[in-house]
Amino acid sequence: MTMRLQRYLALCGIASRRKCEEHITRGRVIVNGVTVVQLGTCVTPEKDKVLVDGREIFPPKRFVYYALNKPAGYVVTLSDSHGTPTVMALLQDIRERVFPVGRLDMDTEGLLLLTNDGELANRLMHPRYHLEKEYLITVRRELNEHNLNWLRKGIELEGKVTQPAQIRLIKKSREYICYRMVIHEGRKRQIREMFKATGHPVLTLKRIAIGSVHLGTLTTGRYRPLTHAEVGLLRKAAGLVSEKGGKGIENKEEREGYERRGISGVRNK
């Protein structure tokens, strides 16, 4: 089967399809001994030899899916030339080469998905599929009804109006106000910029759900495999009906036991 080179790279777990396109245009990909920089190039996986940074790549033998409770202070990249710790440092016990699905700012914490299933990752990041993402946001002062309706209907950021959002107040104290917000996009620093536009800078931001996957009781800095049910629902949301095998925990009790035992081997931060 012939496919576009960037799709094949993503299927091999190199990175998201968009990032793979950058690898190609920067001359990091070689096909059958020739450096390729054209995005329209197609390959036949069964016949062509593909190298990235001098290393031959192959599709994964199996797909794996993980949920990580990202601490603040980590960047969501595979590597960082400035010495900032990346989320990959929290995944040292994972044998497969996985990459993050989407982004979280360095100062934002909470749920991050990681996988080597490039096709699913690419679809989950595409705005076409309107995957829900749920956040907890704390600010100093309570928003008035005008600002709440503004956030719900959409705010213009960099010349483009945000999609309608759901927001409700869940806690009030003297020190802060906490809101729960659901959006369907993943634009850079979107929630922070939306609240900033209302005159209420964000104090803390935490993602607690992505589609059918919830952060739950997962400790900060630890990760767990997704259940087969979670993977199936994500694939359904992304328009991928057929289920692929993955590394999963079948039920809630088993998953909670996994977390209690700290099988991930990652220290809490």
Q: Which domain holds residue 245?
A: 63-127+212-261
Tell me, what's the pLDDT at 168? Answer: 96
Q: What is the model's pLDDT at position 241?
A: 65
Tally of domains within the chain: 3
pLDDT exceeds cutoff 70 at 265: no
Query: What is the rounded distance in angstroms from the CA atom of residue 202 to the CA atom of residue 179?
Result: 11
| Catalytic, out of 53, 80, 105, 117 | 105
* 195-206 mean pLDDT: 96
**Predicted TM-score (pTM) of this structure:** 0.76
Q: Could you tell me if residue 252 is inside a domain?
A: yes
Does the annotation count 80 as an active-site position?
A: no
With residues binned 3-state (H G I as helix, E B as strand, rest as coil), the percentages for the chain, rounded to 5, are 25, 30, 45
Chain centroid, CA 59 distance in Å = 20
Same domain for 47 and 31: yes
**Predicted local confidence at residue 240, as pLDDT:** 82
Token pair listed for 120: 């699913």
Question: CA-to-CA distance for 105 and 37, rounded, in angstroms?
Answer: 30
Partner residues linked to 112 by β-bridges? 68
State the CATH number of the domain containing residue 36. Answer: 3.10.290.10
Q: Are residues 91 and 217 in the same domain?
A: yes
Q: Is 156 a domain residue?
A: yes
CB-based contact 182:133 (threshold 8 Å): yes
Average pLDDT, the chain: 86
Nearest to 194 by CA among 145, 170, 158: 158
Of 40, 203, 54, 57, whose CA–CA distance to 136 is shortest?
Answer: 203
Please tell me which residue, 260 or 38, carries the higher pLDDT value: 38
Identify the pLDDT of residue 62: 84
Residue 81's pLDDT band (boundaries 50, 70, 90)?
low
Q: Which of 195, 210, 225 is the last residue of a domain?
A: 210
pLDDT value at residue 103: 86
Q: Are residues 218 and 206 in the same domain?
A: no
